[in-house]
Amino acid sequence: MNVSSRPSPPERPESGHKGTFGRVLIIGGSLGMSGSISLAGAAALRSGAGLVYLGVPRSIVGIVAAFEPSYITVPLPDQESGVLSKSALPNLMDHAEGKDVIALGPGLTQSSETDEIVTAMYQSCSQPMVIDADGLNALARFPEQLSEHNGPRVLTPHPGEFARLTGQSIDSIQNDRQDVATRFAKEHDLTLVLKGPATIVTDGDQVYVNSTGNSGMGTGGTGDVLTGIVSALIGQKMPPFSAARFGVYLHGLAGDLAANELTEPALIASDLLRFLPAAWKQVI
């Protein structure tokens, strides 16, 4: 069923407090890719989250913390390369307890140890999870496990990541975006956000094709911002499909407002953070 109405924002009760508006845990980052997780964390804050925790390798915690004082950083054991170590897993499982949503993947990079973290959390966490970037690359190495999850899952691939997940070529995906996305979501019982111009959001039954966004958003880090936005909305108790639909709309709207002011070529991912408040103003 195609859903074409303008997506609605989450409710925000007058009497709400930071506990009401969701505890969000985002896991990722590595030496050289501290920006991705920082952008995701700041975007979650700019999207209404009550408390945002960023689980990052110990070696980059100072860099991530310096980007934005309003989120909480959780330093985790890392390998010598500045990538999360699998010894972080018990710690991560403890931190996951009591969170309303967990996001996994921005800037995580790829290693056998991060693969173990991703597959274990994907399978066992009962909370909703948003999986992006290297979280998706890890899942792509174990496609038989994609349906083995213990809670709601939202996957946010760009066409390259979706090609890895499905084993199909980017061209064949792009020629048949809506059908491939819908079949995948249905088969694995999850919500899929297939990014790019006219991003598709589907839970296997409902399908939404987004109308906001522009080519200025084809610049590193804009997808990391989307991960933070969708995670924050799920943390505010929106069902996964509604959160993904509204999040994709809001993200593109922030991009359109930013491009209007700054031009498409000059747009960078952190501009989306600055234009999110103006985007919110148009939808609430």
Ligand X SMILES: Nc1ncnc2c1ncn2[C@@H]1O[C@H](COP(=O)(O)OP(=O)(O)O)[C@@H](O)[C@H]1O
Binding positions for AMP are 195-199, 223
User: How many residues interact with ligand NPW (rule CB under 6 A)?
Assistant: 18
Out of ligand X, Mg ion, ligand NPW, none, which partner does residue 22 contact, by CB within 5 to 8 A per kind? none
Binding segment (CB under 6 A) for ligand X, from list 7-15, 74-82, 218-226, 228-236: 218-226
CA geometry: angle at 128 spanning 126 and 130, to 5°?
Answer: 130
Instruction: State which of positions 32-71 bind ligand NPW (CB under 6 A).
Output: 33, 35-36
Residue 201 is which amino acid?
V
Considering CB distances under 5 to 8 angstroms, the limit depending on partner class, which of ligand X, Mg ion, ligand NPW, none binds residue 231?
A: none
Establish if 198 lies at the interface with ligand NPW (CB under 6 A): no
Q: At 264, phi and psi to the nearest 5?
A: -65, -45
Q: Which stretch binds ligand X (CB under 6 A): 13-21, 74-82, 211-219, 272-280?
A: 211-219
Please, what is the minimum distance in Å from the beta carbon of residue 100 to ligand NPW?
A: 22
In angstroms, the CA 163 to CA 41 distance is 27
Give 12's Cβ-side CA count (13 Å radius). 11
Distance CA 59, CA 81 (A): 9
Q: How is residue 257 written in tokens?
A: 């407002």
Q: In angstroms, rounded to a whole number, what is the distance separating the alpha carbons of residues 96 and 92?
A: 6
How far apart, in whole angstroms, are the C-alpha atoms of residue 224 and residue 266? 18
Closest CA to 194 of 205, 212, 179, 214: 179
Verify binding: residue 231, ligand NPW, rule CB under 6 A. no
CA distance 32 to 13: 40
Positive or negative, the CA dihedral 186, 190, 194, 200 is positive
Binding mask 167-196 for ligand X (x = CB under 6 A): ----------------------------xx
Name the phi and psi angles at 153, rounded to 5: -130, 135
The interface region with ligand NPW, picked from 100-108, 148-156, 176-184, 186-194 by CB under 6 A, is 100-108
Minimum Å distance from CB 108 to Mg ion? 11
Minimal distance, residue 25 CB to Mg ion, in Å: 19
Hey, is 131 helix, strand or coil? strand
Interacting partner of 170 out of ligand X, ligand NPW, Mg ion, none (Cβ under 5 to 8 A depending on kind): ligand NPW
One-letter amino acid at 5 equals S
Please, are residues 248 and 283 in contact by the beta-carbon 8 Å criterion?
Answer: no
Question: What residues numbered 236-265 form the site for ligand X, per CB under 6 A?
Answer: none
| Lookup: tokens for 65 | 């913390």
Give yes or no for residue 240 binding ligand NPW (CB under 6 A).
Answer: no
221 binds ligand NPW (CB under 6 A): yes
Contact segment (CB under 6 A) with ligand X among 62-70, 139-147, 166-174, 212-220 equals 212-220
Residue nearer to ligand NPW on the CB measure, 16 or 220: 220
> Is residue 133 a contact point for ligand X (CB under 6 A)?
yes
List contacts with ligand X (CB under 6 A).
Answer: 133, 158, 195-197, 199, 213-215, 217-218, 220-224, 226
